[in-house]
Structure 1
Amino acid sequence: MSEALIARGVAVTGLSRSADGIDVTDEASIEAALGRLEGPYDLILVATGALEIDGARPEKALKQVTPKAMMDQFALNCIGPSLVLKHAVRLLPRDGRCVFAALSARVGSIGDNGFGGWYSYRTAKAALNQMIHSGAIELGRSHRDAICVALHPGTVQTPFTEKYLGRHPSVPPEEAAQNLLSVIDDLTVEDNGQFFDWQGARVPW
């Protein structure tokens, strides 16, 4: 997505674990990294996440649920993006359109869950969705033109999904990036606090 934005001529500030040492499971790390930045930013995108952490694969049965796997999922997939939102508010303009978006997943939808399983990952993403929805309400009070959303990118062809590509249609990262940017481009203030897929369709909570 950074490359796609740069190709548009957009100035991009990228932060990552590998290049900048930012650890989204550590609030001090988030605060230090974002504290070095000066706004305003018209787009802040959180693209962190993991389906497997420390070798713990998505659970197929309740008997496979463990406290550690669930806590690890919450730390990375919910708490991390929530803390980025907390410390990113000061970087958003008080007036004028701006977007805060976090990558979620359709499997985090409670209303669109017909298969069960994947307990820790699903639950962490559902919690992230609630944080985005609730945070959007507060953000809208102080930043009247802000749009805070959760985004489902679809299944992207990356190491993150390579074990699961046979089950779902997938697209290369470059195409997924363009899809998401098209959704972001079309967002309005009325979309604040919502959950959208890569086609711009609302995903049930």
Structure 2
Amino acid sequence: MSYSAIVVGAGSKIAQAIIEQLIALDDCQQILAISRGQNFEHEKVTAINTHYDEASIAHTCSELAPTFPVAKVFICQGILHQGELQPERKLESISAENMLKVFEANTVTPSLWLKYLTPHLKSSEPCKVALFSARIGSISDNQLGGWYSYRASKAALNMMVQTFAVELARRAKNVKLLAFHPGTTDTPLSEPFQRSVPEGKLFTPEFVATQLLSLLDRLEVDGHASYMDWNHQVITW
């Protein structure tokens, strides 16, 4: 079956690797690549440039015109550090301004994309949606503390994914939601922290894209959200 795919945050390294692998799939005939300014030259890819405020997200989604049923969606949003904004190592480092920035990028914006994309996902065909979360967002797995805003924003995203899944099980039974932990990937997001990564645990964007696509292929549309990592292992919420 021919299908369309939607990639939000298409300027990121992992998103670009996902797009390259989608291009190579015969069934994937259209890729709607949404970003703040990334261009693509392949005939399968339609580049859509927009801002990420709610009005722009709503307008962009209202103008989308998938040619085929949407079978795969990747919401690759996220921020860990930006200039003086860094993960907090102790509670004295918490600031309201930085916390709000992190929550907006990691929780609010991905949730808005799912909100406005949902009308395009409802069909009789399965549609699998991956939102980029992180293992650090697991409340039950938190043994180290620190990184307050990033950790809390990903936990909040996980709750949004769970809650969206409850509603979509009634309203869009063909949609499966996945909160995905890509592992530590060799991208600008992880660059300042790569020295502490164990040998063999710093992944290429291409590897992560391969793992995610194969994970989506095996997931069943069951009316529940899943929280899983790059190695296809379940993470406790």
Please give the TM-score of this superposition, normalised by the length of structure 2.
Answer: 0.82
Show the 5 A alignment for 1:14-163: 14-19=33-38, 20-24=48-52, 26-39=53-66, 40-163=69-192
The 8 Å contact of residues 176 and 221 in structure 2, kept in 1 or not, is answered as: yes
Partner residue, 2:44: none
Deviation, structure 1 residue 108: 0.7
Q: Distance in 2 between matches of 1:77 and 1:104?
A: 8
Deviation, structure 1 residue 149: 1.5
Q: For structure 2, which runs of at least 5 residues remain unmatched after alignment? A: 1-17, 39-47
Q: Distance in 1 between matches of 2:80 and 2:123?
A: 35
Q: Distance in 2 between matches of 1:14 and 1:197?
A: 23
* SS of the residue 1:53 aligns to: coil
Q: For structure 1, which runs of at least 5 residues remain unmatched after alignment? A: none
The 8 Å contact of residues 53 and 69 in structure 1, kept in 2 or not, is answered as: no
Match for residue 208 of structure 2 among 172, 176, 187: 176
Task: Tell me the amino acid that sits aligned with residue 65 of structure 1.
Answer: I
Report the number of matched residues: 204
The 8 Å contact of residues 132 and 150 in structure 1, kept in 2 or not, is answered as: yes
More displaced 10-residue stretch of structure 1: 13-22 or 142-151: 13-22
Q: Distance in 1 between matches of 2:178 and 2:228?
A: 8
Q: 1:35 to 1:202 in 2, by over 3 A?
A: same
More helix by share: 1
More displaced 10-residue stretch of structure 1: 122-131 or 184-193: 184-193
The 8 Å contact of residues 168 and 223 in structure 2, kept in 1 or not, is answered as: no
* SS of the residue 1:101 aligns to: strand
More displaced 10-residue stretch of structure 1: 170-179 or 48-57: 48-57
Task: Tell me the amino acid that sits aligned with residue 89 of structure 2.
Answer: K
More displaced 10-residue stretch of structure 1: 154-163 or 33-42: 33-42
The 8 Å contact of residues 42 and 93 in structure 1, kept in 2 or not, is answered as: no
More strand by share: 2
2:211 is aligned with 1:194: no
Identity score, percent: 36
Q: Distance in 2 between matches of 1:74 and 1:101?
A: 18
Q: Distance in 1 between matches of 2:37 and 2:142?
A: 34
Task: Tell me the amino acid that sits aligned with residue 106 of structure 1.
Answer: R
Q: Distance in 2 between matches of 1:23 and 1:107?
A: 27
1:54-109 CA distances to partner (integer Å, 9 max, x unpaired)?
42110000000000111001111000000001001101133221112100111111
Task: Tell me the amino acid that sits aligned with residue 199 of structure 1.
Answer: N
Task: Tell me the amino acid that sits aligned with residue 81 of structure 1.
Answer: P
The 8 Å contact of residues 133 and 181 in structure 2, kept in 1 or not, is answered as: yes
Task: Tell me the amino acid that sits aligned with residue 5 of structure 1.
Answer: L
The 8 Å contact of residues 212 and 230 in structure 2, kept in 1 or not, is answered as: yes
The 8 Å contact of residues 165 and 223 in structure 2, kept in 1 or not, is answered as: no
